[in-house]
Amino acid sequence: MAVQPLPRKQQMKTTRRASRRPARSRASDYSSLRRPEPKNAWQRLTRRLRPPRRLKFTREGKYFLGITLGVGFAAINTGNNLLYLLLGMLLSLIVLSGVMSELSLRDLNVVRRLPTRAQVGRAHLVEIEVFNRKKRIPSYAIEVEDLRAGQPADKRCFFLKISPNSAQVAAYRRSPQRRGRDCHVGFRIATRFPFGLFEKSREVPCEGELIIYPAVDPLRLRTNEGGRRLGGAGFAGRGSGDEVFGLRPMREGDDPRDIYWRKSTLLDQLVLRERACETRPDVELVLEARRPAENADEWNAQFERRIRDIASRAVAHLKRGDGVTISATSGDRVRADRSVGADRLLRFLALIEAVESPVSGPPATAAPVAKPFAASSQAPPSGPAAPIVSDMAPPSGPSSGLRNPPPSVKS
């Protein structure tokens, strides 16, 4: 049986209805807002007993409630019909306020967009997006409060109107004051619509985590010694660096771009320039992470200052082209160079925690030391450890690995 096509008018109506349907592509963005299932009977009981909404009186609402109670008492004592009529109007406003505020709070999905990185003392933006899933009813005067674990909720975003099947985006600025993990647990959605008499709110779980890097101060290292190029500590053997290692006759298969024409014109054969293999210094910064039993508060303050100092030194060395290794006395260590950036080092310093020292003693107050040694940009060298030196000391003296290595200092 052949299927007959629809008339042209009916096809146009069907096309218009399909175009009015809202797109469902945003559903995947809000999958993380589902509440986790309770694991035991106590969690199920507390979840059932928890009120779905919280109601709070505003200052105007308290006056309005007092007037309503006064009119009610006067109507009961006097039996005046006008007072009963006025009491009914006041009570109807309360009921209407509850219904309209409930309609504004329903079917709202909230998404948080955290920045890629954040740092102590530097402001960053956090975007809040609210999507209204209602088909015909808009939401008015919506206030979204971002909740963080163990910290006061002081950041809010206000949305005047959110149309049906649409989203609104707002952002707030925050400057963190301490390093570590910043855990976001959810949102508190509130509204005072329509009369501002009551504030109705509900909480929505939405977990998120942001790593707060330690602060980095601008630090200027010692200038390189004369004749040394930026990023290079010495030249060992033939390679593909920028400096010239020597001259030799040109052979078959050599790159003609390395021909040294000034010498080639004097001799009967072409002369080729050999490049030197450039080595880079690798600086190791040591962080004392063992906390003594005595003077714990003072030691914690010094520990945070040492972390900030090491972060500043590490970023300065990376900008200069050096490789940096941060070693903690607790046994953890991390290495980075200019190719990978400072994120690995700053994340390590942001998450490191002090450990209890097995032997009690005075808190360490020495500045972090550095262990520079000649290393290629691909991997650190293997073998015995280099002598501990200060990374700010001027280099002098001969050595086999470096052209001008720094002098060794006994610890």
Q: How confident is the model at residue 129 (pLDDT cuts 50, 70, 90)?
A: very high
Pick the more confident residue, 16 or 343: 343
Q: Is the pLDDT of residue 367 over 60?
A: no
Q: Is the pLDDT of residue 411 over 90?
A: no
Q: How confident is the model at residue 344 (pLDDT cuts 50, 70, 90)?
A: very high
pTM above 0.85, yes or no: no
Is 157 within 8 Å of 253 (Cβ atoms)? no
Mean pLDDT, residues 69-87 taken together? 93
Q: Is the pLDDT of residue 40 over 70?
A: yes
Distance CA 64, CA 197 (A): 7
Q: Is the pLDDT of residue 73 over 90?
A: yes
Q: How confident is the model at residue 188 (pLDDT cuts 50, 70, 90)?
A: very high
Pick the more confident residue, 42 or 212: 212
Q: How confident is the model at residue 277 (pLDDT cuts 50, 70, 90)?
A: low
Mean pLDDT, residues 142-168 taken together? 90
pLDDT at 269: 75
Q: Which range, 2-6, 196-200, 240-244, has the best average confidence (pLDDT)?
A: 196-200
pLDDT at 319: 87
3-state secondary structure 276-326: EEEEEEEEEEEECCEECCCCHHHHHHHHHHHHHHHHHHHHHHHHHCCEEEE
Mean pLDDT, residues 187-196 taken together? 93
Pick the more confident residue, 84 or 371: 84
Mean pLDDT, residues 325-334 taken together? 89
Q: How confident is the model at residue 26 (pLDDT cuts 50, 70, 90)?
A: very low
Half-sphere exposure of 20 (CA within 13 A, CB side): 9
Which residue in 175, 172, 177, 197 sits closest to 187, CA to CA? 172
Mean pLDDT, residues 90-110 taken together? 93
Mean pLDDT, residues 223-246 taken together? 50
Q: How confident is the model at residue 38 (pLDDT cuts 50, 70, 90)?
A: low
Collapsing DSSP to helix, strand or coil, 154 comes out as: coil
Pick the more confident residue, 295 or 54: 54
Q: Is the pLDDT of residue 234 over 80?
A: no
Q: How confident is the model at residue 265 (pLDDT cuts 50, 70, 90)?
A: low
φ, ψ for residue 230, nearest 5 deg:
-65, 125
Q: Is the pLDDT of residue 94 over 60?
A: yes
Q: Is the pLDDT of residue 266 over 70?
A: no
Pick the more confident residue, 277 or 387: 277
Task: Name the one residue in this structure whose structure tokens are 């003296």.
Answer: 397
* CATH number assigned to the domain covering 48-213: 2.60.40.10
Q: Is the pLDDT of residue 118 over 50?
A: yes
pLDDT at 282: 81
**347 membership: H or E segment, kind and range:** helix 343-351
Q: Is the pLDDT of residue 72 over 90?
A: yes
Mean pLDDT, residues 55-65 taken together? 93
301-318: string of b/e by CB count within 10 Å (b at 16+)?
eebbebbbbbbbbbbbbb
Q: Is the pLDDT of residue 174 over 70?
A: yes
Please state the domain extents for the chain: 48-213, 214-229+281-411, 234-278
Mean pLDDT, residues 235-245 taken together? 56
pLDDT at 108: 93
Task: Name the one residue in this structure whose structure tokens are 């910043």.
Answer: 182
| DSSP symbol at 396 | -
By percentage, how much of the chain surpasses pLDDT 90? 41
Cα 293 to chain centroid, rounded: 33
CA distances to 5, 217, 284, 352, 370 from 385, rounded to whole Å, are: 84, 29, 11, 24, 12
Q: Is the pLDDT of residue 372 over 70?
A: no
Pick the more confident residue, 209 or 152: 209
Is 197 within 8 Å of 94 (Cβ atoms)? yes
pLDDT at 241: 54
pLDDT at 248: 78
